[in-house]
Amino acid sequence: MSESSSPSVFPVSLVHSSSLAIACSTGGFKGVFVHGVLSALEAGGIRAAAYAAASSSVFPAICAATGQADEIGLRYWRGALHTLAQPGNSMSEVVLHSIADSRHQLHQHLFQPGLPRLLIAVSLVRTTAGAALTQGDGARRLGRKLLLAAARHDRTWANEHLAPAFFDTAASEETQHLTPENIDAVIYASTRMLHAWTIPAWIGDRPYIDASYTCACPALEMARRGYRTIISIASEPGPVYSDMFQTDLIPDEWNGMPIAIIQPDRNLATMGTDFTTVTEAGMVSVYEYGKAKGREFLHTYRSL
């Protein structure tokens, strides 16, 4: 579903209130689109009380939470593209270098008093057997098997070995506290797709992998936490699913709470931006496309 088909009951008057949460989906380099949408919403005066993110959307969400989505724009993504182009680098190095380059923003700006809440989804590996596979030599092979399982909508392995987990600057009984001390590890863990990331992910003494395996877009998680209006930003056209196995849809409302979905109308790979590959021209095109879709959203709901 695209934003133009979202329910007209979406309450425009709440876009500046403590009732609004913005949830951002996974997508690798397709997260450039998510960042573009956030930049447009920011420029249009929308500031959420809470931002929730998974995998590659974490950095765009942090930029939005600190009020810098438009200012930072493609700077972060160009740095990631430069790192990926260096010989011998995997997506692990891309994320780790991005974390290092953004450390001042993460540690000095994100945790200032009065900033919006930030929630980051990850997948906890809850079994000993699962930990041995995901953090050991068989991780890449397992990752490829899980991609095939996802194509068949088969969650068997994930159900047995994984559980969704959430790190949160406003931690509750259901979440773990996101702090300056653990945010680097949380960001890396949230992005770690097994088939393309070579370095294991641990937060403290517990193993984690990419959010996509259990929570690809934490929209419902924010609705369950009491936010009355949710904007969900997806990086793919068509139905928006709760995880990569595509067994559960994210609806356009939950318990009477509207969920407005902003998404591309076409596969961003056709524009030169895919999960683990991207061109400079594709990056620019997709970022501007995201900004255009964000402005379209603003126009639609301000016209109601």
Rounded average pLDDT over 99-113: 86
The residues, ordered by sequence, that sit 6+ positions from 40 with a Cβ below 8 Å of its Cβ are 70, 290, 291, 292, 293, 294, 295, 297, 298
Type and span of the H or E element at 229: strand 229-233
User: Which residue, 205, 262, 257, is CA-closest to 232?
Assistant: 262
pLDDT number for residue 173? 80
Q: What is the pLDDT of residues 32-57, one digit of tens each?
A: 999 999 999 999 999 999 999 999 99
Specify the pTM: 0.93
pLDDT number for residue 258? 87
pLDDT number for residue 59? 96
Q: Dihedral sign, CA of 176, 64, 52, 132?
A: negative
Q: What is the pLDDT of residues 131-175, one digit of tens each?
A: 999 999 999 999 999 999 999 999 999 999 999 999 999 998 878
Q: Does the structure show a pLDDT above 70 at 15?
A: no
pLDDT number for residue 4? 41
Fold for the domain defined by 3-302? Cytosolic phospholipase A2 catalytic domain (3.40.1090)
Q: Does the structure show a pLDDT above 60 at 304?
A: no
Domain range list for the chain:
3-302
The residues, ordered by sequence, that sit 6+ positions from 103 with a Cβ below 8 Å of its Cβ are 184
pLDDT number for residue 11? 55
**Helix, coil or strand: residue 53:** strand
Q: Does the structure show a pLDDT above 90 at 9?
A: no
Q: What is the pLDDT of residues 255-290, one digit of tens each?
A: 988 899 999 999 999 999 999 999 999 999 999 999
pLDDT number for residue 3? 41
